[in-house]
Amino acid sequence: MRKKVSLITGAAGEIGQALIQELAENEKKNILTLDLQPMNGRSQTNITHIEGSITDKSLLDRLVSEYEIEAIYHLAALLSTRAEYSPATAHTVNVEGTLHLLELAAQQSEWRGSPVQFIFPSSKAIYGMPDLATKAAHPRVREWEWNYPTTMYGCNKLYAEMLGNYYSRHYKQLAEKSPVMIDFRALRFPGLISAHTVPSGGTSDYGPEMLHAAAKGEPYACFVRPDTTIAFMAMPDAISALLNLARAPQTGLTRTVYNVTSFSLSAEDFRQQVLKSFPEARITFEPHAKRQQIVDSWPMDIDDGAARKDWGWAPEFGLERCFAEYLVPNIRKRYQ
């Protein structure tokens, strides 16, 4: 008999590390992790790690011959800054890799006779505000507004959301016998901030980079203007959003893709928050014109009213609590 598992792709990344903790340690699920990197420091019996790529179809075929995959948390992606340096590779990973996994989920659903759940973190990068005046005039965008991404990453995420919608609602719509559809659910995250890991390859990374540099006593030159405003969220809230969306009864869901957010602030306000706890921090502003352009295209805030209404989403960490109770104490411990 094949072993039942939840598959986590991109498991060695920021979200993956925190999610494994919750699923494997607290929920005692059997977890299959897939990443290009080794998973250092984890040796629980309910976690099996496979080093490899989501673009390797023969590897994915091997996995389904050995395991019954009940749920997929598809976290692997090339983030927005990295994707601009190699757009074709980003497309291969972010779109083709996602397509392989959706196919895998569809086949597994058919074989099991019940839907595989597919949880997908998307991003505020799928929005594209044409200029700063429009951004100021539309400070809080809803899911269907301004879907005009300017980055390869944003384009990839938006298309992957649409593929997920297709596989869960319209897959093989002309076949005589309707297939078992997958259960696809996606979240559009704001910039995530973890006290335990430093992100790499993103364009909202200036927030967490500023904070980690201050805690290490290192100077930091922020790559966007002080007035640049976008939304952020603490990593524990991101994990509970993923898990709560996964647990929500399908009957209450009116969308396949939901905005979720916590607080929105400018880069200068972010600096002020950091200075409250690290008054010696040396933070300056040296905007990088092209990365600035990307962040300027992202909305100031995203409207998460649908998630609140449909499945009771509410972040635990607002701005003050996020810094005072999660980020600062854990970051101090980390760099002690």
Tokens of 284: 């300056």
Q: Does 203 bind ligand AKB (CB under 6 A)?
A: yes
Q: Which of 153, 313, 317, 323 binds ligand AKB (CB under 6 A)?
A: 153
Q: Does 267 bind ligand AKB (CB under 6 A)?
A: no
- Least distance from ligand AKB to the Cβ atom of residue 252, Å: 26
Q: Does 202 bind ligand AKB (CB under 6 A)?
A: yes
Q: Which stretch binds ligand AKB (CB under 6 A): 23-31, 110-118, 202-210, 220-228?
A: 202-210
Q: Which stretch binds ligand AKB (CB under 6 A): 38-46, 92-100, 120-128, 252-260?
A: 120-128
Partners of residue 7 on adjacent β-strands = 32, 72
Q: Which of 7, 116, 125, 302 binds ligand AKB (CB under 6 A)?
A: 125
In the complex, which residue's CB is closest to ligand AKB? 202
- Least distance from ligand AKB to the Cβ atom of residue 143, Å: 15
Q: Does 204 bind ligand AKB (CB under 6 A)?
A: yes
Taking a C-beta distance cutoff of 8 angstroms, is the pair 71, 9 a contact? no
3 state SS of 141: strand
Q: Does 167 bind ligand AKB (CB under 6 A)?
A: no
Edge-to-edge strands of the sheet including 67-74? Answer: 47-51, 31-35, 3-9, 67-74, 117-123, 183-189, 257-259
Contacts of 85 (CB under 8 A, 6+ apart): none
3 state SS of 138: coil
Q: How many CB atoms lie within 10 A of CB 166?
A: 16
Residues between 48 and 87 with contacts to ligand AKB, criterion CB under 6 A: 79-80
Q: Which of 29, 49, 91, 124 binds ligand AKB (CB under 6 A)?
A: 124
Nearest residue to 258 via CA among 169, 171, 161 = 161
Q: Does 128 bind ligand AKB (CB under 6 A)?
A: no
Total of residues contacting ligand AKB (CB under 6 A): 11
Q: Does 191 bind ligand AKB (CB under 6 A)?
A: yes
Q: How many CB atoms lie within 10 A of CB 142?
A: 13
Q: Which stretch binds ligand AKB (CB under 6 A): 5-13, 23-31, 110-118, 196-204?
A: 196-204
The site string for ligand AKB over 212-251 (x = CB under 6 A, - otherwise) reads: ----------------------------------------
Nearer to ligand AKB, 16 or 191 (CB): 191
- As a three-state string, the secondary structure of 164-219 is HHHHHHCCCCCCCCCCCCCEEEEEEECEEECCCCCCCCCCCCHHHHHHHHHHHCCC
Taking a C-beta distance cutoff of 8 angstroms, is the pair 232, 191 a contact? yes
3 state SS of 31: strand
| Residue ranges in contact with ligand AKB by CB under 6 A | 79-80, 123-125, 153, 191, 202-205
